């Protein structure tokens, strides 16, 4: 199974979860509808009690007969332990059983899940003792492309305990650092404001009034930096596309009696239309090979499609003097208005979902 096929299956499972979640009311339903299909998509035979062991028992000290929901074996060794909770469960304070079993088995990975949230643990802090914090957390209902790439490493045919462990530390701490800065943007702490003031050479007193005055400025400064980086990368992508393709116009080939009209009706592809095309490629870059994404322009609308096949259109962009909008090929021809092409990032998930149909 290649990565594109895997990504398609995981996204389909995500869609199924969002459709089923209101009808899942207990742990057994969660296991059958969500958790077992999740591991099936990772390539494990959930109906083989040797490979996918339900109600796995490992006696721990004086505690006898305790069970973890599943143990997954590879090469006759336990590779992963899985503790399942019902969909509506909060996973906090539910890892103690996994901690005990992790210590008495050869497993290097443990997973705590409620069918939507999956927390992956290993022993980064102290060998053979499960960490308190996961190195990877995903929410299947809102899974990111980068997370699918990490999840792919846990598929049966790709599973390599040493390789996963070698990247787990980076995943854990980069994720925690990103969460820290996300929190500081929305709720900047006093200590963080003081650090910034020290770094920029502020010489006045750093009392509570000064901290309160600078707090929103620090938050805006972080956001401004992020926006600047995003805009720089987008501008670079647009410039690169224009340099490579340099299409000032596209002539639609016409047969028969319409040939005389061709010269009159040469279609000019605008900068805004090329921006839509470039943004569609940028949004879909982790879903499909961007070399498969094409555009066709005509008098009515600007078309973004896969494999240069008109039946595989992703979106159609419309521009007039009053407003701009796209129609996406989601089965309902959903219409979405926008002010500037860059606004398409706001509907990136919908564009990705349509593109994934044509993987």
Q: Are 58 and 105 in contact (CB under 8 A)?
A: yes
Q: In whole angstroms, give the CA distance from residue 124 to residue 174.
A: 14
Residues 201 and 170 placed together within one structural domain of the fold: no
Q: Is residue 135 part of a domain?
A: yes
Q: Which domain holds residue 331?
A: 247-356
Residues 32 and 68 placed together within one structural domain of the fold: yes
**pLDDT above 90 (res 235):** no
Number of domains in the chain: 3
Please report which confidence band the pLDDT of residue 2 belongs to, taking 50, 70 and 90 as the band edges.
confident
Residues 131 and 253 placed together within one structural domain of the fold: no
Task: Please write the tens of the pLDDT for every residue from 138-186.
Answer: 999 988 887 888 899 999 999 988 888 888 888 888 777 878 887 888 7
Residues 137 and 66 placed together within one structural domain of the fold: yes
Q: What is the DSSP string of 218-280?
A: HHHHHHHHHHHHHHHHHHHHHHHHHHHH--S-BPPP--GGGGGGTTTTPBPPPHHHHHHHHHH
Residues 116 and 213 placed together within one structural domain of the fold: no
Please report which confidence band the pLDDT of residue 60 belongs to, taking 50, 70 and 90 as the band edges.
low
pLDDT for the residue 74: 92
Residues 21 and 124 placed together within one structural domain of the fold: yes
Residues 135 and 275 placed together within one structural domain of the fold: no
| Sign of CA pseudo-dihedral 302, 306, 311, 314 | negative
Residues 230 and 278 placed together within one structural domain of the fold: no
Residues 221 and 350 placed together within one structural domain of the fold: no
Q: Is residue 184 part of a domain?
A: no
Q: Is residue 11 part of a domain?
A: yes
Q: Is residue 185 part of a domain?
A: no
Ramachandran region of residue 328, left (φ > 0), alpha (ψ -120 to 50) or beta? beta
pLDDT for the residue 300: 83
258 vs 354, residue with greater confidence? 354
Mean pLDDT is highest, among 27-41, 59-73, 83-97, for: 27-41
Q: Is residue 70 part of a domain?
A: yes
pLDDT for the residue 252: 41
Q: Residue 166 belongs to a domain with what CATH number?
A: 3.90.1570.30
Residues 231 and 261 placed together within one structural domain of the fold: no
Q: Is residue 205 part of a domain?
A: yes
**pLDDT above 70 (res 305):** yes
Residues 58 and 196 placed together within one structural domain of the fold: no
Q: Are 239 and 275 in contact (CB under 8 A)?
A: no
Task: Please write the tens of the pLDDT for every residue from 242-266.
Answer: 444 444 334 444 344 444 444 344 5
């Amino acid at each position: 199974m290649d990565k594109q096929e895997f990504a398609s299956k995981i996204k389909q499972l995500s869609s199924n979860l969002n459709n089923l979640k209101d009808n899942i009311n207990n742990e057994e339903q969660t296991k059958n509808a969500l958790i077992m299909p999740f591991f099936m998509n990772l390539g494990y035979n959930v109906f083989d009690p040797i490979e996918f062991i339900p109600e796995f028992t490992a006696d721990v000290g004086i505690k006898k007969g305790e069970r973890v929901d599943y143990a997954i074996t590879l090469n006759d060794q336990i590779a992963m332990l899985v503790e399942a909770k019902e969909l509506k469960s909060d996973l906090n304070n539910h890892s103690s059983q996994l901690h005990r079993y992790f210590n008495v088995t050869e497993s290097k990975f443990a997973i705590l899940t409620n069918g939507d949230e999956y927390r992956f643990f290993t022993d980064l802090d102290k060998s053979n003792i499960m960490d308190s914090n996961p190195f990877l957390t995903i929410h299947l209902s809102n899974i990111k492309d980068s997370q699918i790439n990490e999840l792919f490493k846990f598929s049966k045919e790709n599973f390599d305990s040493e390789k996963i462990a070698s990247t787990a530390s980076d995943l854990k701490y980069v994720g925690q650092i990103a969460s820290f800065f996300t929190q500081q943007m929305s709720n900047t702490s006093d200590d963080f404001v003081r650090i910034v003031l020290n770094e920029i050479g502020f010489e006045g007193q750093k009392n509570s009034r000064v901290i309160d005055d600078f707090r929103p400025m620090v938050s805006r400064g972080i956001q401004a930096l992020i926006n600047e980086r995003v805009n720089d990368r987008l501008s670079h992508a647009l410039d690169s596309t224009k340099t490579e393709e340099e299409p000032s116009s596209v002539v639609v080939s016409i047969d028969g009696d319409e040939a005389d009209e061709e010269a009159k009706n040469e279609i000019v592809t605008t900068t805004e239309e090329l921006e839509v095309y470039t943004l569609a490629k940028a949004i879909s870059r982790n879903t499909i090979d961007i070399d498969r994404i094409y555009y066709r322009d005509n008098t009515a609308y600007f078309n973004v499609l896969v494999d240069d096949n008109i039946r595989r259109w992703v979106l159609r962009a419309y521009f007039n003097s009053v407003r701009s909008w796209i129609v996406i090929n989601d089965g309902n021809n959903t219409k979405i208005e926008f002010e500037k092409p860059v606004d398409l990032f706001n509907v990136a998930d919908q564009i990705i979902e349509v593109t994934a149909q044509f993987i």
